[in-house]
Chain A
Amino acid sequence: MGLYPKTISYLMGDRGLLLEFGDEISREINQKVRRMALAIQVEDVAGIIETVPTYRSLLIIYDPLILPIENLKRRLKGIEKGLQQTPLPGPKLTRIPVLYGGIYGPDLEEVARVLQISSEKVIQLHCSIPYLIYMIGFMPGYPYMGELPQALVVPRLKTPRLVVPKGSVAIAQRQTGIYSMESPGGWQILGRTPVEMFNPEKDPPSLLQMGDLVQFYAVTEKEFEHWSE
């Protein structure tokens, strides 16, 4: 499938316009979302008050009394036409330390059992490649990353946990993520990172950003406990 030949726009009420670029999780589609979000930022269109970039779509929140929808659509078409000229900053690689297993990674052993490999192999696979950050969402600073090696693909938990601790590193299907805050959650938890993903006092508040890369590495309990940034 890949990119739609023509971007589809959907109304989300009277102040939202959703631009959908494709119908799957793919790097090509996601890059277009990111490029479009950046281009809109650069254009600084009066009446566009927020954009929400996600895997394969970009939600635009606008003020229809400043920017009538027909004008908005026309502006967006123009921006999309010139998109190839929008330079994308090169991806930044962030290495994230993880203490795998034990109370920090309560699902590690079960994941290993289901995949019929050792826990060590699960850790080695999870650390083997850098992952692309497709979007930050669900909660402040939570990175949705992919794709996991095929040998690591497991489903979500049947019953989500009511409380997943902050810093938990988890997997589900082809994705991996980091719980930036304590929250309920249904992904399988392999370990925990001592690194803070989100700080409302910082600018930007999120450590990671869409389009950047993350590679995990294993640390010992001692290193985890004495971690300081």
Chain B
Amino acid sequence: MERIAAFEVIESGVLTTIQDLGRYGFSQFGVPLSGATDTFSLRVANLLVGNKEGEACLEITLTGLKIKALREVVIALTGGDLCPTLNEEPLEMWRTHLLVEGDVINFKKVRSGCRTYLAVGGGIAVPKIMGSSSTYLSGKFGGLEGRALRRGDLFHIFELPSSLDKLGLRFPKDWIFPLEKEVPLRAIPGPQDHHFTEKGFETFHSSSYRVTPQSDRMGVRLEGPEIERRSHVEESIISEGLISGAVQVPGDGKPIIILTELVTGGYTKIATIISIDLPRVAQLKPGDRVRFKPISIEAAHSLLKEQEERLREFREVLRQR
């Protein structure tokens, strides 16, 4: 398929990478899934511009990114609100926009959340590595040369039928989770919940934890009351597989929420955050606070079903346009 230059990076900002829904099938070779940390926002952004929901998007972290359109393109922005502007005017999120050549988009400050997703009609064109366009930063492959975007980079799209018919479309705002001061995260106990004391469990569920600056796409480190472990168990376990949302508790008793760039680890995990709350984790930035709540797997699955039902309805609305 032909590739067309769609944008030029004017300023790189804190961190912007190309991500899709992740790299599956290579865990046995030590390759983490990578992909968007907030897959819900990425999927909605793609649907808004008429892409398949797993197309590659920009994952824009915090502030400073400035890009210029090199041709007419349709875009949508979802996820955390980083005060996007179009030629210095505020740009509404969760809806489609038509850009013309020379338009400049800028992300100046954080209003809420941490990561915005930018989808472009036609999808961002980068070579697929192991079946995915996702950037794996520490592995230095995927996305654009395995790295974050830099000033002067061009990124391309595939020439596909225009999605101009989708212009003005909005994603229902009441379907987006609110970004709260103290983010509630629902988690299923385990796999190593039995390594912690009852008191440790209570600390975990009754305390407010603060996100530290040592957080990235591998994990969100938290500061707060120490979680007590049973006296006879060791701090580390034999290395095992990891999944996004797993809450590790290393020797210092401070929890770390695993994100998408880790594949195995040897720390005990007290609980694992449920799928539909992972976007909230992805939107945490240093200084934010979280509180954990226990939930059953049955409740988690029915919430997930509800979310997918809503997305199905939204796809139906799109189809009828």
Let me know if B264 and A49 touch, CB within 8 A: no
Is A50 within 8 A of B25, CB to CB? Answer: yes
Chain A interface size, under 10 / 10 to 19 / 20 to 34 / 35 or more: 35 or more
Select which of A10, A11, A13, A135 is within 8 A of B239 by beta carbon: A135
A164 → B minimal CB distance (Å): 13
- Size of the B side of the interface (Cβ < 8 Å), in residues, is 43
Report the minimum CB–CB distance from A94 to chain B (whole Å): 15
* Complex contacts, A140 vs chain B, CB 8 Å: 26, 29-31, 139
For window 127-145 of chain A, which residues contact chain B by CB distance below 8 Å?
135-142, 144
Contact status of A141 and B29, CB under 8 A, knowing A52-B264, A55-B238, A181-B139: yes
Stretch at the interface among A95-103, A204-212, A219-227: A204-212
Question: Known contacts A13-B245, A205-B130; is A51 also within 8 Å of B28 by CB?
Answer: yes
> Per DSSP, are chain B's interface residues mostly helix, strand or loop, or mixed?
mixed
B305 contacts the other chain (CB 8 A): yes
- Within 8 Å by CB of A144, from B28, B140, B190, B239, lies B239
Interface Cβ pair total, 8 Å cutoff: 142
Q: A54-B240, A57-B241, A59-B241 are in contact. Are A14 and B301 (CB under 8 A)?
A: yes
Stretch at the interface among B77-85, B105-113, B220-228, B269-277: B269-277
Within 8 A of B (CB), among A15-60: 15-16, 18, 20, 23-25, 37, 49-59
Given contacts A137-B264, A139-B138, contact A18 B28 (CB under 8 A): no
Cα–Cα, bound, A71→B91 (Å): 46
Question: Within residues 243 to 265 of chain B, which ones have a CB less than 8 A from any CB in chain A?
Answer: 243, 245-246, 263-264
Residues from chain B with a CB closer than 8 A to the CB of A64 are 301, 304
Partner of A52, one of B192, B238, B263, B301: B263
Which A residue's beta carbon lies closest to that of B266?
Answer: A138
Q: Which residues of B contact A53 (CB under 8 A)?
A: 27-28, 241
Residues on A close to B: CB < 8 A?
10-16, 18, 20, 23-25, 37, 49-59, 61, 64-65, 68-69, 135-142, 144, 180-181, 183, 198, 200-201, 204-206, 209-210
